[in-house]
Amino acid sequence: MNVVLASSSPRRRDLLTEVGIRFHAICPQVEEQRQSGESAGDYVARNALTKAEWVAGRLDAEPGDRQVIIAADTIVLIQGKILEKPADRSEAKLMLTELSGRTHRVMTGVCMLHVQRSHAHECRRFVETTEVELRRLEPGDILRYIETGEPMGKAGAYAIQGRGRKFIERIRGSYSNVVGLPVERVMRVVEEWGGIVDWRPMADQRHIDSSGSSLHHSPQ
C-alpha cells in the first residue's frame, strides 16, 4: 500500500515521518474559498475532500494498485471568525493581537481515501478541534515574532511547534492537530486499511516527494 500526502506543508510531512508512516507527497492545485452560509467545520471538511479528490484523479502513473490519500485543511476560529494564513505582516499583527489573551479553536478537516486501481474504495472524513489559549502578548512580543518570519504561512499567524510555543498558555485536545494534522486518528485509519507504520528510529526513515527524490528527516 502506498500512502500519499495531498499537501505541500512541511509540518504535515514532519508529523507523518515522526509517527513512522512512509509516504510520498503531491501538492494539490485547488482553490480554497468559503461558500456563503458554510460553517467552519463544513468548510475545512470540503477543502480536504477537494484536495484528496484532486490527487486521486492523478494517480494513474503512481506505482501499486492500492493507495491511501491523506488530505487536510487547518484554520483558526475565534468567536465565529475564521483566521487562515496571513497575507502579509500587517495581517499577521492583526491576527496575533486578536488572539492575545484569549482562547480560540484550531480546526482541521481530514479526508482519507482508500483507492484501489484508480477507484475510491472507501472514504473517511472527520474534523478535529483543539482549544488553544494564548497568554496576553505585548506589542513588542508580536513585532519581534513577526520579524522571525515564522507567522507567515501559518493559520492564525503562529506555529505551536516553533517559536510561537512561548505564547501558549494551555491547550485542550490534540497537539498535532494544532500543528496541522491530527496524526493520532490518521494512524489508526492507515493501520486499519493495512498500511505499515515503520518503528525504526526517525533518522533511518525516508519519504519520497512527488518528483521522486528522497527527503531525509531527523528529529527536531
For the chain, list residues with pLDDT below 50: 61, 203, 205-220
- Cell triple for residue 105? 479553536
pLDDT for the residue 133: 97
Burial class, 102, CB count within 10 angstroms (exposed 0-12 / middle 13-18 / buried 19+): middle
Look up 88 and say whether it is catalytic: no
Residue 111 β-bridge partners: 71, 125
Full-model pTM? 0.84
pLDDT for the residue 31: 87
Contact criterion met (CB below 8 Å) for 28 and 54: yes
Domains in the chain (CATH in brackets) are 2-216 (3.90.950.10)
Q: What's the CA gap between 147 and 181, in Å, rounded?
A: 26
**What is the identity of the amino acid at 118?**
S
- Cell triple for residue 53? 479528490
Q: Which of 14, 60, 65, 73 is catalytic?
A: 73
Contact criterion met (CB below 8 Å) for 150 and 89: no
56 DSSP assignment: H
Checking DSSP bridges between strand 66-78 and strand 103-116, what pairing results, if any?
A: antiparallel
* Nearest alpha carbon to residue 108 among 85, 78, 132, 128: 128
Q: What's the CA gap between 168 and 185, in Å, rounded?
A: 24
**Alpha carbon distances (Å) from 193 to 72, 123, 162:** 18, 11, 33
pLDDT for the residue 199: 60
Q: Strand ranges (DSSP E) for 9-144?
A: 24-25, 66-78, 81-83, 103-116, 119-134
Residue 25: φ, ψ to 5°: -115, 140
pLDDT for the residue 210: 42
